[in-house]
Structure 1
Amino acid sequence: MAITIKDVAKQAGVAPSTVSRVISDSPHISEKTKRKVRKIMEDMGYHLNLNARTLVQQSTQTIGIVMKNSTSQSMLNPFFPEVLSGISALCHKQDYSICLTTGETEEEIFQDTVKMVQGKKVDGIIVMYSKKDDKVVPFLQKQGIPFVVIGKPVFESNKMMYVDNDNFQAAKEATDYIINLGHQKIGFIGGDPRFEVTQARLSGFHQSVRENDLLVTDDYIKHFQFDREQGERVVSELLTTLERPTALVVTDDYNAFIVLSALKERNIHVPEDISIITFNNTVMSRLSTPPLTSVNIQSFQLGYESAQCVIEFIKDPSMMKKSVIIPTIIEERDSCSEADKTSV
């Protein structure tokens, strides 16, 4: 016979309504009581009947996740699983499930989002990117569903919640780090320029080189998106410039890994010939050869805070929309050396 809320309440010596408030994580119940009731729920093997709860509350207890690219492509980059891990941790704590878009193209991802919202499959949405000419965010705004963006919105930010790093400042500090090692010929390799994070990091890079009175030509600015063939082409172009860069700022560990591989094939050594600083501090940066100096953007925390924001908004639609900025730190490893130790 299934364990009920009344059974848990009787065992805990509290009212059934108290057990219900513990399940919904009500702030009106003390942490001591929550711990006691949750322990009894666990000991008794009580499981919340989500189907019944959905019917009563008209709630799915599910958060939709709109991916930046197709799920298969995104999962190749360790950044996304780390963000999803943070989202999952908070959702588990709040008894929410997650539902991912599975489309392979931008249009399919958008249609997945429409089905989630109009089919009432989710209570809220986390959009894992911010991009110009995006159809998803305007649709969510029009529908009035709670949502949060990971990344600084390219739309009016006071009308939506977002969680992000200060990518401009992080890129400026990363470039300053390279310049302080004595490098003056510095290349920049960004991801898809349509995404706000790429533009913010490029702006931070430019700010640093301007403040240090360095000249960076257009030949030193490249972009590619998680594609080995494109990465090979970008590396070839940089190596054949009139004055080859002695250092690179790469905006994603995954792309940096591709660059590192392309350099090795050409017998270009890191950091002896070219220094590299990258972003995201994923497992790739730690396990590559050499280990990559990388900007730790705290991917797990980005996901955790985004889930926290959207669930708070679901529970209190009248709350003031907010932005959360996650701090970054440069994790120094072996891919950077002083310019006078770099063979040109």
Structure 2
Amino acid sequence: MSVTIKDVAKRANVAPSTVSRVISDSDKISEKTKQKVRKVMEEMNYHLNHNARVLVQKSTQTIGIVMKHSANRSLHNPFFPEVLRGMSSYCHKQNYSLLLTTGNSEEAIYQEVVNMVQGKRVDGVIVLYSKKEDKVVPFLQDCNIPFVVIGKPQGERSRIMFVDNDNTSAAKEAAMYLIQRGHKRISFIGDEPEYQVVQDRLAGYYEAMKEHNLVIREEYVQNLSQNVEETRNVIEKMMNIPEPPTAIISSADVNAILIMSALRELDYNVPKDISIISFNNTIISQLSNPSMTSVDIQTFQLGFEAAKCVIESIQDTNMFTKSVIIPTVIEERDSTGYNKKED
């Protein structure tokens, strides 16, 4: 016969309501009482019946996670496992689970979101991207379900809760870092231009270049799709123009690795011939050869704060819509150097 809350309360010599409050980690219960009740729960091998709790509280204790691509594709990028680790850390403290979309197309992902919300499979949603003409966020707004976006939202931002970096300032700082090291011919290579994060980083690059009256050649601004052959072709073409860049800003570590590999194949030395600074400061930036100077966007913290925002919104329906900006810092490594060439 399974152990009940009443059994635990009797053994701990407290009221059943006290046991319930300990389970929900209520601030109204002292830490001493919590420890005593939890010890009894462990001794009696008590396990919370989550299905019963869902029926009583009308809560799933689950947060839906909307990927911008299929899980298989997204998880190849070290950014996503790290942001999920941050979410999981906070959700675990609050006894929430995560439910990831797995669709292989934008429409399939959208339909999964519709199913999880209308099927009442989640209490709230975290959207891991921001882009124009996206159907997910307007749908979530219409449903009036708690949700948060990682990234700067499109449209009526005051009505949308989000967690982000100041990507424009971060990219401007990255460009300034190169300019201060004597680089004047600087390239910006993005990954997926339809996403707001890439647009913001490109804007920061433009700001820094214009402030210093530096020429922005059309060939210096490119976008890549994490394809080895495409990367080699783009880099080879760019390095063969009359005035090739002496430094590159990559909007993501994954692309930066491909860029570095292409430069090596073309007999360019990093950082002797050309410097590279990237974004996200994932594990691959530390393991690359040479190690990659990268803008640390604090990916874990982005995920942690997103989970915190959405769960707080679930628990307090009157909470004001808010935004959280996570600071960034440049982690200097071996892929950037001083430009000693004449420009």
TM-superposition CA deviations, 1:36-94 (whole Å, max 9, x none): 44444345432221111111111111110000111111011000000001111111111
Name the counterpart of 1:330: 330
Task: Give distance in 2, aligned partners of 1:334 and 1:156.
Answer: 42
Q: Output aligned runs, 1:1-344, within 5 Å.
A: 1-340=1-340
1:272/1:343 contact within 8 Å kept: no
CA-CA distance at 1:263 after TM superposition? 1.1
Task: Give distance in 1, aligned partners of 2:33 and 2:309.
Answer: 25
Alignment CA distance shift 1:183-1:32 (3 Å): farther
Task: Give distance in 2, aligned partners of 1:41 and 1:343.
Answer: 73
Q: Please tell me the residue identity of whatever aligns with 2:129.
A: Y
CA-CA distance at 1:7 after TM superposition? 3.0
The SS at the match of 2:295 is strand
Percentage of identical aligned residues? 59
Question: Given the two structures, how large is their TM-score scaled by the length of structure 2?
Answer: 0.96
TM-superposition CA deviations, 1:218-260 (whole Å, max 9, x none): 2100112333233223212321222110000001001111111
2:236/2:266 contact within 8 Å kept: no
- Identify the range of structure 1 (90-99 vs 29-38) with the bigger mean alpha-carbon deviation: 29-38
CA-CA distance at 1:198 after TM superposition? 0.4
Task: Give distance in 2, aligned partners of 1:250 and 1:13.
Answer: 62
The SS at the match of 1:339 is coil
Question: Given the two structures, how large is their TM-score scaled by the length of structure 1?
Answer: 0.95
Alignment CA distance shift 1:291-1:39 (3 Å): farther
Task: Give distance in 2, aligned partners of 1:32 and 1:278.
Answer: 49
Task: Give distance in 1, aligned partners of 2:299 and 2:42.
Answer: 31
**Structural RMSD (CA):** 1.7
* Alignment size in residue pairs: 343
Task: Give distance in 2, aligned partners of 1:202 and 1:115.
Answer: 35
CA-CA distance at 1:9 after TM superposition? 2.9
Task: Give distance in 2, aligned partners of 1:309 and 1:242.
Answer: 50
Task: Give distance in 2, aligned partners of 1:127 and 1:282.
Answer: 20
TM-superposition CA deviations, 1:173-212 (whole Å, max 9, x none): 1111111111000000112111110011011111111112
Q: Give structure 1 stretches of 5+ with no counterpart.
A: none
CA-CA distance at 1:324 after TM superposition? 0.7
Task: Give distance in 1, aligned partners of 2:97 and 2:223.
Answer: 36
Alignment CA distance shift 1:260-1:60 (3 Å): same
1:271/1:337 contact within 8 Å kept: yes
Task: Give distance in 1, aligned partners of 2:150 and 2:188.
Answer: 23
Q: Give structure 2 stretches of 5+ with no counterpart.
A: none
Q: Please tell me the residue identity of whatever aligns with 2:174.
A: A
